[in-house]
């Protein structure tokens, strides 16, 4: 048993649904070790039939990582916990290593969760990690110039200052939960010490070549505790604002947007005159990223300018690879015809152009995926739901299945494709969907015909909205 304050297990885990089992990501450090032991106690008491699998990802980046994985395996054996080690093999990128390692870790964990039929991945991110994340994003905000956009938290209207979400949907299929986000690392270490449980100190956490260790070191100095408390308060406020704004944007998307054809979205003319301009701009940022296949929202400042121009009358503009064509009959959004992917062999779970997910169901030998093209689009039967020129332009950039120069079908066609499935994806949330953004993501998924969200991993909230504040 792990000696903790009496209510710690209940406070940490009772919101989550472990009925389908869980993977605990365990590196051997103090946070993940405490997570594993606390989770084991909770599941033994509250979900004894559910399966718990501890998994260590060996990134194969330094000497000793394999030894550390074996130490975690030994601890699990002592506690009667099933354990697995996964190795990130192959070449490593010369730059952006932390981000690449994080992506590889989640991919390996998610693949295992699906193959083992486990419903949830649980990680040991703590309140200290959250504070570091918020402060790093705040620092980037201060360093990036006006109009530049790179990732969440940089010139993004404060969205990134919400920090890490309590839960994140990975690849639109697998939930990742972070139950320790309100728990300080010092409390977890003290619980481990009282129980006589050791942990591994990862030297990477002290390597000042990387951003997070530098931030962690800065918080160890004078005023560090105050800065942590301020960052956590800022994260809580930003998360609440982000969820509330997302809910308002979702209402606008559901009431004022329609899909005349695959790849084409029509906004009602009333959208430009919406009284809630903040929610309208937010909805526009999400829709532009979705139609353009961009993994981050369209730039906020540019969208505000665009929204103001929409109120002035007809226009044609391009932002985030999306053509905005405002006419008397509505505001139409479609993917521009530049920089489309070339012909390529279909790959299972391929996010084609950032906006269509390719899934293989049978042998796809001799088949390629490529844009339908304007010539084939002109031959397609089109309805009267929108101007013909817009329908053809939207259809031309849709992915199609080809064999020997013959088009076998395309995304959105009435007849289903053989061997290959092509479905819409909500581009800015296709890889990582934080629980802050469930409502707008669900609204856009319904709009474009993307698969519905899998049930969130927490109890008491049908769509997960508001759960971060529970």
Residue boundaries of the structural domains of the chain: 8-235, 350-424
Residues of the chain with pLDDT under 70: 1-10, 141-157, 203, 205-208, 413-416, 459-470
Is pTM beyond 0.85 here? yes
Cβ-contact 294, 320 below 8 angstroms: yes
pLDDT of residue 468: 38
Cβ-contact 216, 132 below 8 angstroms: yes
Strand order in the sheet with 350-352: 350-352, 356-360, 420-424
- Give the separation between CA 297 and CA 314, rounded to whole angstroms: 24
Strand order in the sheet with 368-371: 368-371, 399-403, 406-410
Strands 356-360 and 322-327: unpaired
CATH match for 8-235 among 3.40.50.620, 3.30.70.1280, 3.40.50.2000, 3.40.50.170: 3.40.50.620
- Give the separation between CA 412 and CA 439, rounded to whole angstroms: 24
Residues 6+ apart with CB under 8 A from 126: 31, 180, 181, 183, 184, 185, 188
Residue corresponding to tokens 């033994």? 44
- Give the separation between CA 282 and CA 430, rounded to whole angstroms: 18
pLDDT of residue 15: 87
pLDDT of residue 61: 84
- In DSSP terms, 18 is beta-bridged to none
Residues 6+ apart with CB under 8 A from 467: 15, 166, 167, 435, 456, 458, 460, 461
- Give the separation between CA 163 and CA 102, rounded to whole angstroms: 16
Cβ-contact 407, 375 below 8 angstroms: no
Cβ neighbours around 294 below 10 Å, total: 20
In three-state secondary structure terms, 337 is: coil
From the centroid of its chain, how far is CA 182? 21
Cβ-contact 358, 420 below 8 angstroms: yes
pLDDT of residue 156: 66
From the centroid of its chain, how far is CA 62? 28
The helix (run of H) or strand (run of E) holding residue 352 is strand 350-352
200 token code pair: 């591994």
pLDDT of residue 157: 66
Phi/psi at 65 (5° precision):
-65, -35
pLDDT of residue 352: 97
Phi/psi at 219 (5° precision):
-80, -10
Cβ neighbours around 459 below 10 Å, total: 12
End-to-end CA distance of the chain: 27
pLDDT of residue 40: 95
- Give the separation between CA 83 and CA 391, rounded to whole angstroms: 53
- Give the separation between CA 403 and CA 368, rounded to whole angstroms: 6
Model pLDDT for residues 193-240, shown as the tens digit of each residue:
999 999 998 767 666 677 777 888 788 877 888 989 999 999 999 999
From the centroid of its chain, how far is CA 385? 33
Cβ-contact 144, 152 below 8 angstroms: no
Cβ-contact 22, 53 below 8 angstroms: yes
pLDDT of residue 464: 42
In three-state secondary structure terms, 333 is: strand
């Amino acid at each position: 048993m792990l000696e903790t304050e009496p209510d710690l297990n209940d406070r940490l885990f009772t919101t989550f649904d472990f009925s389908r089992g869980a993977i605990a990501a365990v590196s051997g450090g103090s946070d993940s070790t405490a997570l594993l032991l606390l989770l084991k106690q909770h599941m033994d008491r509250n979900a004894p039939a559910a399966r718990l699998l501890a998994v260590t990802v060996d990134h194969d980046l330094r000497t000793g990582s394999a030894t550390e994985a074996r130490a975690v395996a030994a601890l699990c054996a002592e506690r009667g916990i099933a354990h697995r080690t996964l190795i990130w093999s192959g070449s490593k990128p010369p730059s952006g290593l932390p981000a690449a390692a994080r992506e590889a870790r989640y991919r390996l964990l998610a693949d295992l969760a699906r193959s083992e039929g486990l419903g949830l991945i649980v990680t040991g991110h703590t309140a200290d990690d959250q504070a570091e994340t918020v402060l790093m994003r705040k620092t980037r905000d201060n360093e990036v110039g006006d109009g530049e956009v790179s990732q969440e938290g940089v010139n993004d209207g404060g969205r990134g200052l919400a920090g890490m979400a309590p839960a994140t949907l990975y690849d639109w299929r697998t939930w990742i939960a972070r139950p320790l986000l309100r728990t300080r690392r010092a409390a977890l270490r003290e619980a481990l010490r009282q129980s006589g449980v050791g942990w591994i100190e990862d030297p990477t956490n002290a390597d000042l070549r990387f951003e997070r260790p530098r931030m962690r070191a800065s918080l160890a100095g004078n005023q560090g505790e105050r800065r942590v408390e301020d960052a956590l308060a800022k994260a809580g406020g930003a998360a609440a604002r982000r969820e509330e704004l997302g809910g308002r944007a979702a209402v606008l998307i559901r009431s004022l947007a329609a899909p005349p054809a695959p790849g084409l979205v029509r906004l009602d003319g009333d959208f430009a005159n919406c009284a809630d301009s903040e929610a309208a701009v937010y909805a526009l940022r999400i829709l532009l990223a979705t139609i353009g296949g961009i993994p981050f929202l369209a730039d906020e400042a540019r969208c505000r300018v665009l929204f103001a121009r929409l109120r002035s009358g007809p226009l044609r503009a391009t932002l985030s690879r999306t053509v905005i064509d405002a006419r008397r009959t509505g505001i139409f959004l479609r993917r521009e015809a530049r920089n489309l992917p070339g012909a390529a062999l279909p790959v299972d779970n391929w996010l084609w152009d950032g906006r269509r997910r390719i899934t293989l169901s049978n042998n796809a030998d001799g088949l390629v995926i490529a844009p339908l093209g304007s010539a084939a689009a002109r031959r397609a039967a089109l309805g009267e739901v929108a101007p013909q020129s817009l329908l053809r332009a939207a259809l031309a950039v849709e992915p199609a299945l080809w064999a020997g120069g013959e088009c076998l079908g395309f995304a959105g066609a009435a007849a289903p494709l053989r061997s290959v499935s092509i479905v819409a994806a909500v581009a800015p949330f296709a890889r990582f969907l934080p629980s802050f953004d469930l409502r707008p993501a669900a609204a856009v998924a319904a709009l474009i015909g993307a698969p519905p969200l899998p049930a969130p991993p927490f109890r008491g909230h049908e769509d997960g909205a508001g759960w971060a504040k529970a």
